[in-house]
């Protein structure tokens, strides 16, 4: 079977549209979600920067670690974990629980290579938070990294 010109165009256009859709989805998520700020803690100052991104633990201010493994939900208002979709909770985050650690895909922040050392020092010494946008279905996405209440870009 020989392919026609329209086949080739379709094969090339589809990935571009899919990628644009992916970017658009995350842009909408970022713009439309409810803003919440969480304090962050580094694992270890030496391992804070892996390549050109920061990895950290998010401090959800919960009294107990999440139980079990698999999908979990965190109600932001009450700081309680649940295995089921939380009822009567206006803002909740969907994530997964693994060995007592809750992960919602907001544990990484990409930074420019040139700011590596400055940000590493700041994260160690100053109060750091991430500004997160949370959609109505619980998907969380980082909007900004705040150091002493200011965006890292202004720091």
- Contacts with another protein, residue ranges (CB under 8 A): 1-3, 5, 7-16, 18-20, 22-23, 26-27, 29-30, 51-53, 105-115, 141-142, 153
Partnered with residue 74 across adjacent β-strands are: 81, 93
CB 73 within 8 A of CB 82: yes
Annotate 45-81 with b (16+ C-beta within 10 A) or e (fewer): eeebbeeeebbbebebeeeeebeeeeebbbbbeeebb
**Least distance in Å: CB of 4 to another protein?**
10
Smaller CB distance to another protein: residue 78 or 137? 137
Smaller CB distance to another protein: residue 46 or 70? 70
What count of other Cβ atoms lies within 10 Å of the Cβ of residue 117? 9
Distance CA 66, CA 127 (A): 25
Smaller CB distance to another protein: residue 20 or 67? 20
Written as six digits, the tokens of 72 are: 């979990």
**Least distance in Å: CB of 10 to another protein?**
7
**Least distance in Å: CB of 113 to another protein?**
6
**Least distance in Å: CB of 51 to another protein?**
8
């Amino acid at each position: 079977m020989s392919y026609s010109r329209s086949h080739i165009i379709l094969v090339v256009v589809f990935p571009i549209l899919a990628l644009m859709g992916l970017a658009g989805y995350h842009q909408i998520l970022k713009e439309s979600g409810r803003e919440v700020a969480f304090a962050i803690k580094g694992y270890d100052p030496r391992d804070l920067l892996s390549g050109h991104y920061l990895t950290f633990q998010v401090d959800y201010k919960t009294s107990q670690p999440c139980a079990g493994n698999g999908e979990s939900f965190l109600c932001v208002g009450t700081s309680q974990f649940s295995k089921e979709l939380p009822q009567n909770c206006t803002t909740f985050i969907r994530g997964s629980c693994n060995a007592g650690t809750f992960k919602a895909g907001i544990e990484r922040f990409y930074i420019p290579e040139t700011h590596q050392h400055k940000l590493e020092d700041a994260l160690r010494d100053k109060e750091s938070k991430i500004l997160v946008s949370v959609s109505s279905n619980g998907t969380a996405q980082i909007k900004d990294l705040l150091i002493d209440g200011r965006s890292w870009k202004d720091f």
